[in-house]
Structure 1
Amino acid sequence: MKVQVIFYSMYGHIHCMAEAVAEGARSVAGAEVGVFRVPELVPDEVLEKSGAKAAQQAFAHVPIAKVEHLPDADALIFGTPTRFGNMCAQMRNFLDQTGGLWLKGSLVGKVGSVFTSTATQHGGQESTVLSTHITLLHQGLILVGLPYSEQRQMQMDQILGGSPYGAATIAGGDGSRMPSELELGMAKFQGRHVAEITAALVRGRQG
C-alpha cells in the first residue's frame, strides 16, 4: 500500500506538516510512504529577497514530485498553503499537468486528502481544502478528511488550525509561527486515518 505526500512550502510550515502527515501514515502496517515537493515557480532572486530561498534549504533534499508517478500510489495527500482562499500557484501548476491521467482514468478510485496553512485564523483554510477537493473529484479520487474523532480540532483554549476537511496550521502574518504540537498531532492523525482507509480498500480489492 503506497502513500504519496505531495506538498509545496515557501517558508517551511507546510513541509513540517507534510512530515507529520507522513509519520502518521507510516504508523499503519504495510504503508510505504514517500514525501515529495512540487517544483518552485518563483524566480530565485524574488525568493532570496523574501527570505524564502534560505528557508527552503531545510527541505531542498526532498525529491520533486512527478506527475507520471501519481498512478503508482494508492493514496495521494496534498499539502498547499492558501493563496487568497485557494491552493498556491505551484500546486495548481502541478495538478494542471495531470490532464493525461484524467483522460486515462489513471487516478480513479485512489484515496485523496488535503492539508493547508494560512497566515491568519480565518485566512481561507476551509476554502483552500474544499477548492482543492474539486480537482481531486474530477480525477475520481475518494476524499478523506479529518473526522471529529480527532478531537484536538475542537479545542478552544488556544488558537489553532484544522477543520473536518483537513489539518491546517496558522503561520502568522509575518510567517513567524511554526506548526504547534496540536496542529502536528492533527496532521499525524490525518496521515494515519488516510492510510488506514486506504489499506482497507486495498485489502477489499485484493480479496
Structure 2
Amino acid sequence: MPQPYILVLYYSRQGATRAMAQLIARGVETAGLEARLRTVPAISTVCETTEDDIPTEGDLYCNENDLKDCAGLILGSPTRFGNMAAPLKYFIDNTSSLWLNGDLIGKPAAMFTSTSSMHGGQESTLLSMMLPLLHQGMVIAGIPYSQQALHETKTGGTPYGASHVSGTQHDQNMSDDEQQLCKFLGKRVANLAQRLA
C-alpha cells in the first residue's frame, strides 16, 4: 500500500506562493508524512496555446490521481481581485469525477495565499478556495488563535489560512510570523490526516 501524503497544490506566478508551499511542505514533513508539491499550468486566452506536459522548471503539474489519492490537501494561490487565480480555478473546475465518486469526502484541507498589498483580498481568496472543497466534502482546517504568531503578525496570517504580503514588486521576504504559520498549517493538516485515517 502506498505511503499517505499531503498534496500541497498551488499556482504561483511571481514565486511568493511557491515559497509558501515549500514551507508548508516542511511543516507536513515534521509531522511524519510525505508532502507532495504540485502546481498547475498557466491558462491562456488564446485557445490554441497549450503548456508542455512537464514544466520547464519547478514542481510537476498535478493530475487527478495526485488529488484523488492524497490523505489531505493544502491549496494555495496568489490573490486575483480577492479570488483564486484562474489556472487553479480551471484545474479545480475539472474535478467533477472526484466529486461524483466522493473521493475527497472526509479528508482534511487548508488554504494559503499571497497578496501584493496588506488589504489585497487575502481572506476572501482563502474563502474562495474553501468553497469547492466544501462541495467535495472535505474537512476544512484553519489556523487557531492558540498560535501566538497569529496574534503578533503585522503582515500575513489569518484564521482562514496562511497568507503573505509580498509587496507590489514581489520583493518582500516572508516575516518570521508568516513562516511559522505556514509550517504550522502543514503540520496541522498532516496531524489531522493521521487522526482521520
**Same fold (TM > 0.5):** yes
Distance of 2:151 and 2:8 partners within structure 1: 25
Distance of 1:116 and 1:178 partners within structure 2: 14
Equivalent of residue 181 in structure 2, options 177, 183, 186: 186
Identity of aligned residues (%): 39
User: Contact between 1:116 and 1:167, CA under 8 Å: does it hold in 2?
Assistant: yes
Distance of 2:89 and 2:106 partners within structure 1: 21
Give how far 1:21 is off: 0.3
Equivalent residue number for residue 105 of structure 1:
102
| Gapped regions of structure 1 (runs ≥ 5) | 44-55, 203-207
Return closer, same or farther for 1:183/1:42 CA change in 2, 3 Å cut-off.
Answer: farther
Distance of 2:10 and 2:174 partners within structure 1: 15
Distance of 1:13 and 1:61 partners within structure 2: 13
Distance of 2:77 and 2:44 partners within structure 1: 15
Equivalent of residue 92 in structure 2, options 80, 92, 95: 95
- State the SS of the aligned residue for 1:187: helix
RMSD: 1.6
Question: 5 Å matches for 1:193-204?
Answer: 193-202=188-197
| Gapped regions of structure 2 (runs ≥ 5) | 46-54
Moved over 3 A (4+): none
Give how far 1:178 is off: 2.9
User: Contact between 1:21 and 1:189, CA under 8 Å: does it hold in 2?
Assistant: yes
> What amino acid does structure 1 have at the position aligned with 2:80?
R
Give how far 1:42 is off: 4.6
Q: Work out whether 1:39 is the aligned partner of 2:36.
A: no
TM-score normalised by L of structure 2: 0.89
Aligned residues: 185
Equivalent of residue 24 in structure 2, options 11, 21, 25: 21
TM-score normalised by L of structure 1: 0.85
User: Contact between 1:67 and 1:94, CA under 8 Å: does it hold in 2?
Assistant: no
Equivalent residue number for residue 129 of structure 1:
126
User: Contact between 1:5 and 1:35, CA under 8 Å: does it hold in 2?
Assistant: yes
User: Contact between 2:152 and 2:177, CA under 8 Å: does it hold in 1?
Assistant: no
- State the SS of the aligned residue for 1:95: helix
Distance of 1:197 and 1:101 partners within structure 2: 21
